[in-house]
């Protein structure tokens, strides 16, 4: 079996640790090159992994002609670079979120169909054993009819004051909702099969990032007088068969330390409570058995989530099937996110009609 040749574009923290390191463990792929606009990073990481390094990713695509490409640059560049990689003939693993907005993700989806190449979206959190347990419960009907989901991901103090996340020319022009809200929406909607949302009522706030005294309490550094991203967002999203309430915060005056995700899925037969950070690490099923109210807490398997993500990408290409997480799911996810921004801007509930199912 020929080895699949891999190139990774954007080899900062996440590109190195959660893409290159897992690829290196797979026997049927060969890492051939890395590309990063930061010459020092490109050289250092290229040398560490013993592969060619480029500053210009287009030159890398042209010269190396990789079969598989990971895109792990800042979010605002994901869709453009992923499109270039598709056009160069590669199957693509683009990190989360797939693009800055629904339009970008739709264009990427259409292009992938046109060139008949796969795009997987890098929600490594999807490979959580706790989430797999919930997916199985939902598939087996243990939840009954789901009528409400409440989903929250809130950091007490975690504004990432680093260019990748805070510079609007890099981050897709948005704040906490796009950056970490995408995880909790993915975690919440995966068990429910990503049905199309019908309407959204949302609000966004910039309350902590604008305060000078907050800079040393968060991550990195930024100019609070120029902070114009949301650090907190809330919404109520309506689907045909259930509602979803959402809370997302880079920073908020809450009790817990660090970042906490809490997702509750309420069904008429059973419910689940999931906890974690970006990935769900803990889950309990609540229901009724033999006339008693019960709590079921599984002993979860261990898993290396980024490794499972990369392995799924490579397997999907080998087996000629759609990967998961994929762009069809991301269309729904970005429709929700864009809907919240639009509703916040218009100050009223917005109806979503562009995705029918
Ligand atoms: N899944 C996760 O848990 C997780 C965690 C962190 C980041 N991420 C995502 O991964 C992406 C990268 O985040 P990070 O933490 O690694 O950031 P980072 O700043 O450490 O790395 C980004 C790298 O991209 C490079 N880059 C920028 N523009 C480029 C271009 N045009 N061509 C090639 N390289 C370019 C930068 O020089 C940098 O080395 C972001 O989209 C982020 O949302 C995901």
The pLDDT tens digits of the residues spanning 202-230 come to 999 999 999 999 999 999 999 999 999 99
pLDDT at residue number 356? 59
Evaluated on CA atoms 300, 305, 307, 308, the torsion sign reads positive
Average pLDDT of span 280-285: 98
Q: Cβ(278) to ligand 1 under 6 A? A: yes
Tell me, in angstroms, the distance from the centre of ligand 1 to residue 71's CA: 8
Domains of the chain: 4-124+307-325 (3.40.50.720), 126-298+334-351 (3.30.360.10)
Q: Tens of pLDDT along 119-165?
A: 999 999 999 999 999 999 999 999 999 999 999 999 999 999 999 99
Q: Tens of pLDDT along 61-110?
A: 999 999 999 999 999 999 999 999 999 999 999 999 999 999 999 999 99
Q: Please report, rounded to a whole number, the percentage of residues in the chain having pLDDT higher than 90.
A: 98
The angle subtended at Cα 158 by Cα 154 and Cα 164, nearest 5°, is: 115
Q: Which helix (H) or strand (E) holds 147?
A: strand 146-155
Q: Which residue's alpha carbon is at the smallest distance from atom 10 of ligand 1?
A: 72
Query: Hey, what are 119's tokens?
Result: 């795009």
Sequence-ordered alpha helix ranges (H) in the chain:
13-15, 21-25, 39-49, 57-64, 78-87, 102-115, 129-139, 163-166, 168-171, 176-179, 181-189, 305-319, 327-346
- Cα pseudo-dihedral 182, 261, 165, 328, rounded to 10: -10
Report the chain's mean pLDDT, rounded to a whole number.
97
Q: Which residue's alpha carbon is at the smallest distance from atom 4 of ligand 1?
A: 14
Tell me, in angstroms, the distance from the centre of ligand 1 to residue 338's CA: 22
Q: Cβ(12) to ligand 1 under 6 A? A: yes
Residue 118: is the preceding peptide bond cis (ω within 30°)?
no
Tell me, in angstroms, the distance from the centre of ligand 1 to residue 242's CA: 35
Q: Cβ(14) to ligand 1 under 6 A? A: yes
What Cα–Cα distance (Å) separates residue 45 from each residue in 104, 108, 304, 331? 29, 28, 22, 33
Q: Please report, rounded to a whole number, the percentage of residues in the chain having pLDDT higher than 70.
A: 99
Q: Are 243 and 235 in contact (CB under 8 A)?
A: no
Q: Cβ(171) to ligand 1 under 6 A? A: no
Q: Which residue's alpha carbon is at the smallest distance from atom 31 of ligand 1?
A: 37
* Confidence check: pLDDT of 306 > 70: yes
Q: Tens of pLDDT along 165-185?
A: 999 999 999 999 999 999 999
Nearest ligand 1 atom to alpha carbon 278: 3
* Confidence check: pLDDT of 357 > 60: no
Tell me, in angstroms, the distance from the centre of ligand 1 to residue 122's CA: 12
Average pLDDT of span 24-30: 97
**pLDDT confidence band for 191 (50 / 70 / 90):** very high
Cα-trace Rg, the chain: 20
pLDDT at residue number 354? 67
Tell me, in angstroms, the distance from the centre of ligand 1 to residue 66's CA: 20
Ligand 1: residue of 7, 8, 10 to mutate (most ligand atoms within 8 A of CB) is 10
Q: Cβ(156) to ligand 1 under 6 A? A: no
Query: Hey, what are 121's tokens?
Result: 């979206």
Q: Which residue's alpha carbon is at the smallest distance from atom 2 of ligand 1?
A: 14
Q: Cβ(9) to ligand 1 under 6 A? A: yes
Tell me, in angstroms, the distance from the centre of ligand 1 to residue 14's CA: 6
Residue with tokens 């099969």: 193
pLDDT at residue number 64? 98
- The 3-state DSSP class for residue 218 equals coil
Nearest ligand 1 atom to alpha carbon 183: 1
Q: Cβ(10) to ligand 1 under 6 A? A: yes
């Amino acid at each position: 079996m020929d080895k699949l040749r891999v190139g990774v574009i954007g080899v900062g923290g996440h590109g190195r640790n959660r893409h290159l390191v897992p690829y290196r463990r797979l026997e049927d792929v060969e890492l051939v090159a890395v590309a990063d606009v930061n010459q020092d990073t490109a050289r250092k990481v290229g040398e560490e992994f013993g592969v060619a390094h480029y500053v210009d990713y287009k030159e890398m695509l042209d010269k190396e002609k990789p079969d598989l490409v990971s895109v792990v640059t800042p979010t605002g560049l994901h869709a453009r670079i992923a499109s270039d990689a598709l056009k160069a003939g590669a199957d693509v693993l683009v990190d989360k979120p797939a693009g800055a907005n629904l339009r970008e993700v739709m264009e990427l989806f259409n292009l992938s169909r046109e060139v008949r190449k796969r795009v997987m979206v890098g929600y490594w959190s999807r490979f959580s054993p706790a989430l797999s347990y919930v997916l199985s419960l939902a598939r087996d009907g243990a939840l009954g009819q789901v009528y409400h989901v409440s989903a929250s991901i809130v950091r007490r103090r975690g504004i990432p004051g680093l260019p990748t996340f805070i510079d609007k020319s890099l981050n897709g022009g948005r704040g906490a909702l796009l950056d970490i809200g995408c995880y909790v929406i993915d975690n919440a909607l995966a068990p429910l099969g990503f049905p199309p949302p019908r309407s959204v009522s949302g609000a966004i706030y910039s309350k902590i990032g604008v305060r000078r005294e907050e800079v040393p309490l968060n991550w990195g550094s930024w100019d609070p007088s120029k902070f114009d991203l949301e650090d907190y967002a809330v919404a109520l999203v309506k689907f045909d068969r259930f509602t979803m309430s959402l809370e997302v915060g880079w920073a908020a005056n809450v009790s817990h330390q660090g970042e906490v995700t809490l997702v509750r899925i309420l069904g008429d037969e059973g419910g689940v409570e999931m906890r974690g950070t970006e990935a769900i690490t803990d889950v309990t099923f609540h229901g009724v058995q033999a006339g008693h109210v019960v709590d079921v807490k599984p002993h979860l398997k261990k898993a290396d989530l980024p490794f499972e993500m990369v392995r799924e990408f490579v397997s999907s290409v080998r087996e000629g099937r759609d990967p998961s997480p994929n762009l069809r799911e991301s269309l729904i996810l970005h429709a929700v996110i864009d809907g919240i921004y639009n509703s916040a801007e218009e100050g009223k509930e917005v109806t979503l009609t562009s995705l029918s199912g």
